[in-house]
Structure 1
Amino acid sequence: MPAAITEEQQALDRRALLDVAERLFYGQGVQAVGMDELRAASGLPLKRIYRLFPTKEALVVAMLERRDRRWRGNLAAHLDKVPDPRERVLALFDWLGEWFAEPGFRGCAWGNAHGELGSSSPAIAAAAQAHKHAFHDQVAALVAAVDASAAEPIYLLAEGAIVVAGIHGDPTAAVRARTGAQALLDAAP
């Protein structure tokens, strides 16, 4: 009889699988990646994968949730380095521009997953919506320190830049959105 898998090994396997799933799903699309490819890339037996995540949908949701925590955490860490509230708002677009210029950038992981499977998977749709709500709240709190009335337009500029950069492969979308955000802040009373 094989030895029981420890909680530590379970956590290591889960993390390794999520790393592989994120790289493959983000790079190729969720539907393009089969379970055999995940098995081969992770080195985990299919049986172990299904013990960790009973369905591919559960794996996608876990990957999106983990990516959300990391993505928004990295953004917050970047913004925390900027002491001036107005400059902190503009730093949002600088951070987006750095993300857009990363090798392998394919747009918004949540928008991509929602576009592929959101209409047929309420769980994936909910994960994408949760990310967008959390990002909205993060931007609104950021902008409120300067001009709360500009929060919604600045959020829309950020989301628009993400879409343009992802679809057109244009990292300068962040610079143009930053210019729009700066104009909104300049017009504030």
Structure 2
Amino acid sequence: MIKQRGQVVADKILDTAERLFFKQGYNMTGINQVIEEADIAKASLYKHFESKTDLLLAYLQRTHERWFDKLGGDVNKVTDPREKLLVLFDYHRERQLKNGYSGCRFIKANDEAGMSDERVLAEIQKAKQHLKDFIAELVINSGHQKLLTDKELTDLIFMMLDGGIVAASIFKQADDLQSARAIIQKLL
């Protein structure tokens, strides 16, 4: 399938914004830098994104879709229902290693823009809730030992994943995600 010219330009802008927002942060990235590094005209940017916040929202939506597609693909490669839960930790660990322990794109965006813009906060909450719902479905289907309720195990896994990501970004290692995986494995 051949992309339309407008989509090619929009993707070029989003690719540039994604790299810059993730590397240097939303607040430290100016629209002029995005325009310059994407090598586009200012009018092209505003044709696709009315504001910097609209660009951030598009970045978050695309990131969520791509991230979740990859996660779902990794989980679906495994047949054992309990192992599927452990793949969540493996996936998060792999992402931290690949991205130099740079944390979570959604947590970063929330810290910078989620508190001041309801649309950004809603998009971040949507992504995080999607993950939590996905975990809940895996927990229900896992046949775990029932040392915790399904909701308690879901909440614990969710918090351990996000906590492990934060720890990885602070300590520049993924040991806490590996430890979290081992703890959850004992509860399964």
Q: Which moved more, 1:116-125 or 1:72-81?
A: 116-125
Q: CA deviation at 1:167?
A: 2.6
What letter is aligned with 1:61? Answer: L
Q: What is the CA-CA distance between 1:104 and the residue it aligns to?
A: 3.8
What is the CA-CA distance between 1:102 and the residue it aligns to?
A: 0.9
Secondary structure of 2:15's counterpart equals helix
Following superposition, the deviation at residue 67 of structure 1 comes to: 0.2
Q: What is the aligned partner in structure 2 of residue 171 from structure 1?
A: 174
Match for residue 3 of structure 1? none
List gaps (5 residues or longer) in structure 2: 145-149
| Range moving further from structure 2, 146-155 or 105-114 | 146-155
**Is 2:94 the partner of 1:98?**
yes
* Equivalence for 1:140: 136
What's the counterpart of residue 17 of structure 2?
Answer: 21
Amino acid at match of 1:171: A
- After superposition, the Cα gap between the structure-2 partners of 1:105 and 1:11, relative to the gap in structure 1 and judged at 3 Å, is farther
In the alignment, the residues of structure 2 paired with residue 11 and residue 47 of structure 1 have an alpha-carbon distance, to the nearest angstrom, of 15
- Alpha-carbon distance between aligned partners in 2 of 1:54 and 1:181, rounded to the nearest angstrom: 44
Judging changes above 3 Å, is the alpha-carbon distance between structure 1 residues 159 and 103 closer, same or farther for their aligned structure 2 residues?
closer
Supply the distance in 1 between the matched residues of 2:101 and 2:177 (Cα, whole angstroms). Answer: 14
RMSD value over aligned CA atoms? Answer: 1.3
Tell me the TM-score normalized by structure 1.
0.90
Q: Which moved more, 1:150-159 or 1:89-98?
A: 150-159
Equivalent position SS for 2:4: helix
1:58 aligns with 54
CA contact (8 A) 2:35 2:41 kept: yes
Unaligned runs of 5+ in 1: 1-6
Provide the secondary structure at the position in 1 that maps to 2:98: coil
CA distance in 2, matches of 1:168, 1:53: 36
Deviation readout 1:43-63 (Å, 9 max, x if unpaired)? 111111011101000000100
What residue is the counterpart of 1:74 in the other structure?
Answer: 70
The normalised TM-score by structure 2 is 0.90
Aligned to 1:184: 187
Aligned-partner residue type, residue 121 of structure 1: D
Percent of residue pairs identical:
31
Equivalent pair of 1:157/1:181 in contact (CA under 8 Å)? no
Structure 2 partner of 1:111: 107
| Structure 2 residue 156 is the aligned partner of structure 1 residue 153 | yes
User: CA offsets per residue over residues 86-133 of structure 1, 9 Å max, x none?
Assistant: 111111111111111014441111110110111111111111111111
Separation of aligned partners in 1, 2:166 and 2:79: 28
The whole-number CA distance in structure 1 between the counterparts of 2:100 and 2:9 is 25
* Distance of 1:167 and 1:136 partners within structure 2: 23
